Structure 1
Amino acid sequence: MIDTISRGALWLAALALPAPAMAQARSQCLTEREGEAVLLYLAPDLLSQAGRICAPVLPASAYLRRSGDLGRRYAAASADAWPAARVAIAKVAGPDVAPLLDSAFAAPAVSSLVAPLVASEIKAADCPQLDRILSLVAPLPPQNVAGIAVAFLQIANDRDRQSGRRSPLTICEAPNR
């Protein structure tokens, strides 16, 4: 289950970046807060895409089929997260992309491009587990869910470091707590 969640978090974070930035992203890391901001910003569109993909394969009683409230709850958090997400994306994408993110069109463009890319990674076989995960985290505040996703992303980053692989997007190592 950790692998599924961490893969999802990796897809989400990695695909939040423009493709040319991926090489630079490997050498950059985001703080926990920056990673959370990117995840919160993309959440409403990702939830919508997940619902679109999974609805045909899930029973009528499935959480994703009966709850539109989750996307609405994340919409406010998404709007609040955009300034920090913009800075995080600019940090990883580099100085050539940063000025483009200041445009009023950047926020909707980033989300409308990224969500379908991430959603293309969702397979029908993933839907029951995704539905369960979302139903379990639904009562939590969006910020907590983003924090959980970043924590799983950090686990995946640690595994990648130990195996000599490079993560497509790295969350900076947190100091020992």
Structure 2
Amino acid sequence: MKQVTSKFVALAALLGMASAQTALAQDCLTQPELTGMVTFALPVVMDGAMKACRPTLSPQGYFATQGPALVQRYAARKQDAWPAAKAAILKIGDSRDARMKDMIGNLPDSALQPFAEGMVAQMVTEGIKPDQCVAIERATRLLSPLPPENTAELLTFIVGLADRPKPGKKATLNLCPLN
């Protein structure tokens, strides 16, 4: 689970095209923004995991039999989460090139959403190793009874814990302190 959590932290950071130094230079990322980004990304992440793991998992397993319905359940929340996800993406965007950030910020949602989804899908597909698939499928099965909003909140909580600064290391995301 630690590998999955660290990959999710990296995924959240890469979704916004951020490096550690860039993220720290930005305004902090609020819990609702991070939750929005997680909610928006979850259907793509799950679909990407199912595709990446299909060759190594049982055709009678959870992903094969229940996965598509779960992706649809999570996808129903995606559009409502977009405003917060977009705010998060723009907040942790690449500030080294102001013109690029402005260009991304001025893209219509109809262009920015598929771009963000494509990045997430590629990272998930490339980031999953075959020996992680059983654990990913199990974690997904264990989380599946939760309503999508609870799963997103739980993952946001885990990302927040996993992304705390450690001695000698900076956090990947610049999360706002909880009040």
Do the aligned partners of 1:9 and 1:152 also contact (CA within 8 Å) in 2?
no
Counterpart of 2:98? none
Structure 1: runs of 5 or more not aligned: none
- Shift of residue 98, structure 1, vs aligned partner: 5.0
Counterpart of 1:85? 85
Residue 25 (structure 1) aligned with residue 1 (structure 2):
no
Of 157, 160, 167, the residue aligned with 1:163 is 167
| Number of aligned residue pairs | 170
Of 102, 112, 128, the residue aligned with 1:122 is 128
TM-score w.r.t. length of structure 2: 0.86
Residue 173 (structure 1) aligned with residue 177 (structure 2):
yes
Counterpart of 1:142? 148
Structure 2: runs of 5 or more not aligned: 96-100
| Amino acid of the structure 1 residue aligned with 2:24 | R
Mapped partners of 1:103, 1:135: distance in 2: 32
Mapped partners of 2:107, 2:120: distance in 1: 14
Mapped partners of 2:159, 2:61: distance in 1: 26
- Residues 134-155 of structure 1 show CA distances to partners (whole Å, capped at 9, x for unaligned) of 0011111111111111111111
TM-score w.r.t. length of structure 1: 0.86
- Residues 91-113 of structure 1 show CA distances to partners (whole Å, capped at 9, x for unaligned) of 22155255334442111121112
- Residues 72-124 of structure 1 show CA distances to partners (whole Å, capped at 9, x for unaligned) of 01111111111111111112215525533444211112111222123311111
